[in-house]
Amino acid sequence: MAKRKIIEIDRNLCDGCGLCTTACDEGALELDDEGKAVLVRDIHCDGMGMCLEVCPTGALEIVERESQDYEAVATREHTSKTRGEAAAVRVHDAPRTTGSDGAAGAARPAAPSELAQWPVQLHLVSPHAPYFKGADLLVAADCTAFARGSFHADLLKGRKLVVACPKLDDTTGYAEKLADIIRFNDLQSLTVAIMTVPCCGGLLRLVQQAVAISAVDIDIHAVVIGPGGEMAE
């Protein structure tokens, strides 16, 4: 086993409200016989902490400890068994688009790109890049552009972009770099696009942390995209 980020529960603070068990789409949390939240199995917790946002007592925190790795396949099966196949599909499966005969649809003309700068990965961009000056900034989770076919037209047009994955990236320094982008560039607007899957909540929290660090009064407009491309604001 190796060290990784995973949820930890303070039983003394847990009041048994159960909100965390519904917030965790992975089904990693449940209430035990004493009415306290417990981690079902390490392999079902991805360590991204969506449950933290709903806990009213602060009983939950993300810690780094030795643990089994998160297992996506086993977690999908667990979600299907405990919450039903519809819940498993919503969180873990992305639907495929096919023609009426079941075959893949014919190729369509390429939509125009709205990308206005390069690079876009948060590790690579400079907070002092001139294209950020006075920009409308979009901070997008990597998967959003793949899930929503009209991502360029709906979200990217007219905005500068940084992309990141809170689950797979080494996010050390991300909040501080985002804070510098906000602090030095007099941004006109700040939009965050994330997926409905639990891990993406980490990106929104990083941006919220960055705004707090920057001490700049700017609103965060959050857009949430489902695996099928549906968008909610």
CATH number at residue 161: 3.40.1360
Q: Which residues of the chain carry a pLDDT beneath 50?
A: 94-107
Does 122 fall in a domain?
Answer: no
pLDDT of residue 84: 81
- Rounded CA-CA distance 154/232 in Å is 12
Q: pTM value?
A: 0.58
Residue-range definition of the domain harbouring residue 79: 2-92
pLDDT of residue 93: 61
Residue ending a domain, choose from 69, 92, 115: 92
- Rounded CA-CA distance 200/164 in Å is 10
Residue ending a domain, choose from 92, 113, 144: 92
Does 99 fall in a domain?
Answer: no
Closest CA to 188 of 129, 133, 118: 133
Would the CA dihedral through 123, 181, 201, 213 be positive or negative? positive
Span 167-208, pLDDT tens digits = 889 899 999 999 999 999 999 999 999 998 877 889 999 999
pLDDT of residue 104: 42
